[in-house]
Amino acid sequence: MDRLWPDRPARITELGGGITNHNFKVDVGDGVFVLRMGGAKTELLGIDREVEYEAGRRAFEVGIGPEVVAFVPEEGWLVARFIEGRPITPAEMRSPSMLTRVAFAMRAFHDGPPIPGRFNAWAVVDAYRATAEAHGVEMPSEFRRARAIAERIRTARGVKPDVPCHNDLLNANFLDDGQIRIVDWEYAGMGDRFFDLANFSVNHEFGVDDDRQLLHAYFDEVRERDLATLRLMRFMSDFREAMWGILQSGISELEFGFVEYAAKHFARLEATAADSSFEHYFRTVGSSEA
């Protein structure tokens, strides 16, 4: 801690909740901070700490993230001010008032100035596969069909403008301190806003009606093509998450059930593709009149 707070006594408390990194609450004088120490081999997961730092700074600038006060790139350390916020339960996320606040926060970042880095879900999936196989991991039987469906989604989605995205909107990454705050920007990059919307949706186990409310809160209207796009991109969110687990099973030294984690997300994306509405969503996204 002397490198960050020289000659200042610090009280350190480990924070739980992370899989990849180590997080600590640090009390120094009249300041309280969170020190995030990047985990081993995180560059193999596509994490660029410089991009994370710049995304965190931008999140603070647009009023949705904690202030980033220090960055030690050679160590992968990031320091932000501690937020005395409360978690938001998944059930509470479904309320119209909370969805409005969350959508406002997401939109503030999406509509902000560009950030470094790029996030493309298809490229991430392919990179995770290549790196996992290079580390001796065999692809599960579900991969080939999932990749074919992913390609159909890419074709249906087409080329869209990139916007600043978070790309890891787990429930644990939201806090409420009177404003909605979003933390943990390590997968941030310029990407598809509908990946963020779908990632938020599937991580909170939203149904179709919940997604309609989310889209109304975000766009102030619900277009059927937007709903179909979001429902298709939920598949891509789970595919990325499944492949993250597959890659981690080959490179991580942590005692965590990465294979089981991947299997859970493969099962969920297969259930998504098996839903009777899935083909309808493809037709809706491809229709010029939707």
pLDDT, tens digit, 9 for 90 and up, residues 100-113: 999 999 999 999 99
Per-residue confidence (pLDDT) for residue 15, from 0 to 100: 80
pLDDT in tens, 160-170: 999 999 999 99
Q: Where are the domains of the chain?
A: 10-81, 86-285
Within this chain, domains 10-81 and 86-285 share the same CATH topology = no
- The reported pLDDT for the residue numbered 124 is 97
Residues 179-194 pLDDT 10s: 999 999 999 999 999 9
pLDDT surpasses 50 at 290: no
**What is the per-residue pLDDT across 278-289, written as a single tens digit (0 to 9) for each?**
999 999 998 754
pLDDT computed for residue 9 by the predictor: 73
Domain range 10-81, CATH architecture: 2-Layer Sandwich (3.30)
Angle at 59 between CA 188 and CA 171, to 5 degrees: 65
Specify the pLDDT at position 97.
Answer: 96
8 A C-beta contact, residue 119 and residue 165: yes
Residue 39 reports pLDDT greater than 80: no
Select the more confidently predicted residue: 131 or 17. Answer: 131
Q: With helix as H, strand as E and coil as C, how does 238-290 read?
A: HHHHHHHHHHHHHHCCCCCCHHHHHHHHHHHHHHHHHCCCHHHHHHHHHCCCC
Instruction: Categorize the per-residue pLDDT at 74 as very low, low, confident or very high, splitting at 50, 70 and 90.
Output: confident
pLDDT in tens, 206-247: 999 999 999 999 999 999 999 999 999 999 999 999 999 999
Q: How confident is the model at residue 38 (pLDDT cuts 50, 70, 90)?
A: confident
145: confidence class by pLDDT, cuts 50, 70, 90:
very high
Tell me: pLDDT of 177 over 70.
Answer: yes
Percent pLDDT > 70 in the chain is 94
Report whether CATH 3.20.20.70 matches the domain 86-285: no
Residue pLDDT, tens place only, 262-282? 999 999 999 999 999 999 999
Mean pLDDT (the chain, rounded): 91
Nearest to 187 by CA among 20, 15, 71: 20
